[in-house]
Structure 1
Amino acid sequence: MTKNLTHINADGNAHMVDVTEKKITQREASAQAFIEMSPETLAMIIEGRHHKGDVFATARIAGIQAAKKTSDLIPLCHPLMLTKVEVNIEAEPEKQRVKITSLCKLSGKTGVEMEALTAASIAVLTIYDMCKAVQKDMVISQIRLVEKKGGKSGDFSLA
C-alpha cells in the first residue's frame, strides 16, 4: 500500500500540513544515534579529562536545545510546545562507542518524531565537535527513530 506524501500538495509543491482539524492527543517519540571512537578518546571523556569540560553534559544540553528549535531548522515542521525532552548518553566501552537516546513528549496535533531525531543528531554532533581535536576519524551512525506513540498513524517501534 502506497501512502501519499503529506508535505506535497495537489500541485506537487511543498507545503506545511494543515493540522487545524486534528485532535489533540498524547504523543511521544524516541530516537537514537551512535558515535564510535578510539578507546583512548572514550576513556578521556568518561574520566572527565577533556580540556573542554564535560562532553556528555554539553551534548545533553545541546540535544535538548535542538529539539526545541526543530521547526527553525526543518522548514515544514510545526513549532511545538514540547512538555518533555530527555537526552540520555551512555558510554559503551566494550563496543568503543557512545549511544545517545532522546525522548520527546507533548499533547498536540502533530507528532514529535523530528524533534526526537533532531535531539539525538545534535547531541551526537556535539560529541564529535568537542572531540574532533583529539580524534577526527570518529564515526557517527544509526541515527534513527526507535519508537513513536500516538497520532492517527498509530504506534511504531523497532522492537
Structure 2
Amino acid sequence: MDGAMPINWQLTVDSADPHAQADFWAEALGYVVEDHDAFIGSLIDQGLVAESDYKVRNGRRVFCKGEGIHHPADPPERGAPKRRILFVRVPEAKQVKNRLHMDLSVGPERREAEVKRIEGLGAAILARVEEPEGIHVTMADPEGNEFCVQ
C-alpha cells in the first residue's frame, strides 16, 4: 500500500423484512445478530427514540427500520470495525438482478451439504453452473437476492 489506511465497510442490503433477512443470513453465514437493546434503552431515556422507532423481538428491543449481523469474532461494541451486513427496510421490492452479490466459499467437498442446509433456511436454487474456472450454485435468499455457493 502507498500509505493509505484500510477502510472499514459494511454491506447494506435493502429489505422488505430486515429482521427476517438478518436471521436468515446470520444462520447461513454463522454470524451474530447484533444486540442493540441497551443502546435503544439509552436513546429512549434521552428522549431521542419514539415507541414507533423500535419493537421487541426475541425478548429484546430492535430498531424497526433495520437489523445488522456481524462475524462472531468481531467486537460487539457499536462503532468497532466489523465484517458487517446491515439490512434496511425499504418500501419497494427487488426488481432486477443484483449487480453485487456474495460468494460463499465453502469448497467442493462441502458445497452440496451447504446448498441443502441453506435451502432448508429458505433459500432457493436458481442454477448449477459448471465452467472451466469452477463450479458453483447460484441461489436466492428469501427476498430473491442472488448469491453463489462455491
| TM-score over 0.5 (shorter chain) | no
Q: TM-score interval w.r.t. the shorter chain?
A: under 0.3
Give TM-score scaled by structure 1 length.
Answer: 0.24
| Structure number with higher relative contact order (C-alpha < 8 Å, ≥ 6 residues apart) | 1
Give TM-score scaled by structure 2 length.
Answer: 0.25
